[in-house]
Each structure stands twice: as structure tokens, then as C-alpha cells.
Amino acid sequence: MDRVWRTITTKTARTSAIFYFSNFGISVLRYFFHLILMRFLAPESYGEFLSYLSLQYLLLIPMSTIGTVVTKAVAQFRGKQDSQAINAFFHQLLRLTIPISLMSSVVLIILSQPLAYLFKANTAAFIVLGISIVFSLLSTVAGSYISAFQQFIFQSIASYLGVALSLGLAVLFINLGFGATGAVIAQLLSTLIITIIQLLKISPFIFPAVSRVKQFTLDLKGLTGFSLFYTIGALSLVSTDILTVRFLLSPIESGLYSALSILGRMIVFGLAPFISLVLPIATHRQAAFGSARSVFYKLGAVMVVFGLIGAGLFSAFPSFFVRNLSGASYLPAAPFLPLFAFSMLFFALSQYIAAYLLAVGRPQATMFLIIASVAQPLAFLLFDTSLSRIVNINFILHSSLLISLIAYYLRVAQRTAK
């Protein structure tokens, strides 16, 4: 009992708990952000805003990859107490990525008019999205440094401030008559403000730039590739299913599946902080002590408990949650919620295992996510007939993915033990 108490009262445990509950609150706040926007925007305007958000979602794939690479690399440097590498990596990374982000920004601005025609939207909003690419890059890099330093409390406060700024500015601009474009401008301004705060936080570690850079070895090519696989696989598994179902089933069934997806993602978002925690902590522990298994088991155990509580509540009271969170018109989806909730729990656990293996130098595990992301739409296309079958296929897919990753982890652990 004393050992358990000492474990849960360590500094890492306390900050991890604060980080988890803070991020859970942030996820809830972001959920209400969309509810409030729907109150202020007409349906057609909210649909316009979602089209912007979908494009931004695609643009975030390379950003998420960069974030994974930076978090792992800086945590590794920190574990080795290599301050020169921490400083040099920041400036080398920006010299490499800023020209690419500027080029992407210019391309998006040039294409703003045809994109606006294609999505029946406002040209100005796509110009704002183009400008936001550079700020998103800076925010991703700075935020990844903060994550690698395990400054989880500061990171949580900054995230709360970012969501609050987005919401407040969005409501202001919408009331001023900017409509959906106002919500996009609000996101850009909030990102800019948070980026400045993040850069100020890490400025002692990155400024001034070191004049003589100590050479360090880091397989950026391989790590970046597997990080991209991880990001593509993870994002595809919660996006392509909705698009495929929209194509295959009736509009009503597609709407019911969308309701299931939104509710299921509440479990994924609730567990996402554990996935974010394992990468920097496990990387640092592996670099400093040569093993990070204790981190994997401790965080994983808490994650399983929280996930089972969430999925269990959805399974015990499906109609209650569907009626109160989605609306009475979505009640036909209630019988499928238990199976879908556990599918999302399995998906979150799969991401956790893949992120841990990425942290300890076994990035090949990300290929399981890629395989699953390809198999998902193919399985829907081959075996679709009804909503119930789609939900069952999804459950089988995520169960198989989790079992495969567990088997791979056990194989890696066995080889390491030898």
C-alpha cells in the first residue's frame, strides 16, 4: 500500500494527473465551442465553418508529424542534458520548415477563390487559413518543446486560454457580422497570441542561438516518416469512416453514424492526454535510464480504468447520453452506442501503444495504424448493407488492431529482456 501511495504522489504523477484533468476539461470546452457556434450561426453558415475546419484538419497532418518529431527529439536531448542540441534543433528545424510553410500558405491564398467556389464559402476565410499555416507551425514547434520539457501545467493553462480566446473572439466577430469567416479569424488571432506566449516560455532555451553547434545524431528521415505514418493512420481512422458511410448509406443512417462518432470521440479525447504524455515521458526515461516500461504500465493502467468507466457509462445508459448530448432525433443510434464506445476505447489504447513504441525506438508499430486505416474503408465497401454491420465491422477492426499491437509489444519486450 505504501508503495502504491508513493507512486501516485510523485511529482510526475501529480503533474500527469493535472495535465489529464485539464485536457479533459479543454476537450469539453471545445465541444461547447461548437455548440455555442451553432447557436450563433445559421445551419448553412455553420456548414461553411465546418468546411474550413475540414481543410484545416488536413493541413494539420504534417504539423502533427512535426510535433511528434520535435517532442521526441527534444525530450531525448533533455534526458541527456544536451542544452546545445536543444537550442540548435529549434533553429535548424525552422530553417527547414518555414520556407515550406510559406510556400503552402501562398498556394492556399492563390487557390482561395476556386476553393471558395468549390465549397460555396467566403474567399477571405481561405486567405486567413493560408496565413494561419505559418503561425500553426510556430505554435506546434513551441508547444512540442513545452511538452518535451514536461511543463504540463503551463501547457494546460495555455490551452484553456486559447480555447477561451477563440470562443470570445468568434462570438464578437459573428455579432459584428463576419459570420463563419469571423470564427476563422478568431482562431487565427487566438493561435497568434498563444504562440507568442509559448515562445516567451521557451525563450531561455532557444535564445540566443548557439554560435558553435555541437554535432548530434538523430535519424530525422526515418523518425519523420514513421511519425507521418502515425499521424495519417490515427487521423484517417476517425475521418475516412464518416466519409465512407456518407457515400454508402442513406442520409439518415449517415447522420446516425455521425452522432455515434461524435459521442465515441468523447472517449478518445478524454484519453488523449495519456497518449500525449507517454511520448515525452517515455522518451526522456528511455534516454536517461535505458528503460521506460514503468511509465508504460502506470499510465496505461490509469488509461484503461478511465476508458472502461467512460465506455461502461455509455453502455449502461446509451439512450440517456444520445438523447441529452445529440438529441431525441438520434435515438435510433442508441442501440449501437455500446459497441461503438468500446471501439473508440480500443482505438485510443492502440494509439497509446503505438506512441510508446515510437518513443522507445520501435516506430515500425505505426505501420499497424496505416494498415488499419486502409482496411477500414475497404471493409465498409465490401460488406456494407446497414448501419449495424458498419458498426460491427468497426468494432472488429479496432479489436484486431489493438490485439496486433499488444502482440507486437510483447514480442518487443521479450526480445529486449533477452
- Counting residues of the chain whose pLDDT is more than 70, the rounded percentage is 81
Which of 171, 199, 216 corresponds to the end of one domain?
A: 216
209 with 298, same domain: the answer is no
The answer to whether residue 111 is domain-embedded is yes
Residue 1 lies inside a defined structural domain of this protein? no
Residues 141 and 212 in one domain: yes
**What number of residues does the chain have?**
418
48/171 same-domain check: yes
What DSSP letter does each residue of 259-284 carry, written as one string? HHHHHHHHHHHHHHHHHHHHHHHHHH
301 and 358 co-located in one domain: yes
Give pLDDT, residue 43: 43
**Which pLDDT value is given to residue 294?**
86
- Which amino acid type is present at position 328? A
- Determine contact, residues 311/341, Cβ cutoff 8 Å: yes
Q: Are 174 and 183 in contact (CB under 8 A)?
A: yes
Same domain, 232 and 133: no
| Structure-block grid coordinates of residue 409 | 509489444
Global confidence as pTM:
0.66
Q: What are 386-403's pLDDT values in tens digits?
A: 889 999 999 999 999 999
2 found inside a domain: no
Cα–Cα separations (whole angstroms), residue 91 to 94, 205, 213, 214, 225: 5, 11, 11, 13, 21
pLDDT in tens, 230-255: 878 887 787 777 767 767 777 677 77
Is residue 328's pLDDT more than 90?
no
> Can you give the pLDDT at residue 339?
95
pLDDT digits (tens, 9 = 90+) for 23-70: 667 767 776 776 666 557 554 454 455 556 656 766 777 777 788 778
**The pLDDT of residue 103 is above 70:** yes
**Dist. CA 159–CA 72, nearest whole Å:** 20
Q: Do residue 266 and residue 290 come from a single domain?
A: yes
Q: Which long-range contacts (CB under 8 A, 24 or more apart) does 301-308 make?
A: 302/20, 302/274, 303/271, 303/274, 303/348, 303/349, 303/352, 304/349, 306/270, 306/271, 306/274, 307/267, 307/270, 307/271, 307/345, 307/348, 307/349, 308/345
Query: DSSP label at 149?
Result: T
* Same domain? 264 vs 401: yes
Give the pLDDT band (50/70/90) at residue 6. Answer: low
**Residue 213, Ramachandran bin (φ over 0: left; ψ between -120 and 50: alpha; else beta):** beta
CA–CA distance, 387 with 393 (Å, rounded to integer):
10
pLDDT of residue 401: 96
Q: Domain for residue 229, yes or no?
A: yes
Please enumerate in sequence order all residues whose Cβ is within 8 A of that of 136, keeping only pairs 6 or more positions apart, or say none.
59, 60, 63, 191
In this structure, are 167 and 288 located in the same domain? no
- Kindly state whether residues 152 and 246 are assigned to the same domain: no
* CA 147 distance to own-chain centroid: 14
333 contact partners, CB below 8 Å, separation of at least 6: 256, 257, 259, 260, 322, 326, 387
Residue found by looking up cell 528545424 in the block: 93
Per the model's pLDDT, the better-predicted residue between 144 and 68 turns out to be: 144
pLDDT band at 385 (very low <50, low <70, confident <90, very high): confident
* pLDDT over 50 (residue 15): yes
Same domain, 177 and 240: no
For 239, the 3-state DSSP assignment is coil
H helices present in 209-323, as ranges: 220-236, 240-248, 251-289, 293-316, 318-321
Query: Distance between CA atoms of 139 and 151, rounded to whole angstroms?
Result: 15
Question: Could you tell me if residue 5 is inside a domain?
Answer: no
DSSP 365: G
Q: Are residues 327 and 201 in the same domain?
A: no
- Using the 3D structure, point to which of 161, 193, 216 is the last residue of a domain: 216
pLDDT tens readout for residues 105-138: 998 899 889 877 765 668 887 799 789 888 888 9
Share of the chain above pLDDT 90, in %: 29
Q: With respect to residue 373, please indicate whether it lies within any of the assigned structural domains.
A: yes
User: Quick check: is 276 in a domain?
Assistant: yes
Residue 3 lies in a domain: no
Instruction: Look at residues 179, 195, 216 and tell me which one is the last residue of a structural domain.
Output: 216
Residues with Cβ within 8 Å of 120's Cβ and at least 6 positions away in sequence, in order, are 48, 51
Residue bearing cell 506512441: 355
Q: Which of the residue ranges 7-21, 166-180, 241-255, 280-294 would you say has the lowest mean pLDDT?
A: 7-21
Residue of 325, 309, 349, 339 lying closest to 263 (CA atoms): 325
Domain count, the chain: 2
Q: Is the dihedral of CA 192, 198, 201, 205 positive or negative?
A: negative
Mean pLDDT on 331-350:
94
Quote the pLDDT of residue 38.
Answer: 53
Rounded Cα–Cα distance for residues 281 and 300 (Å): 13
Instruction: Answer with the residue of higher pLDDT: 54 or 139.
Output: 139
Residue 4 has pLDDT above 50, yes or no: no
Q: Are residues 164 and 191 in the same domain?
A: yes
Are 410 and 418 in contact by the 8 Å Cβ rule? The answer is: no
- Per residue in 284-316, pLDDT (tens digit) is 788 777 777 888 998 899 999 999 999 999 999
Q: Domain of residue 89: give its range.
A: 12-216
The mean predicted confidence, pLDDT, of the chain is 81
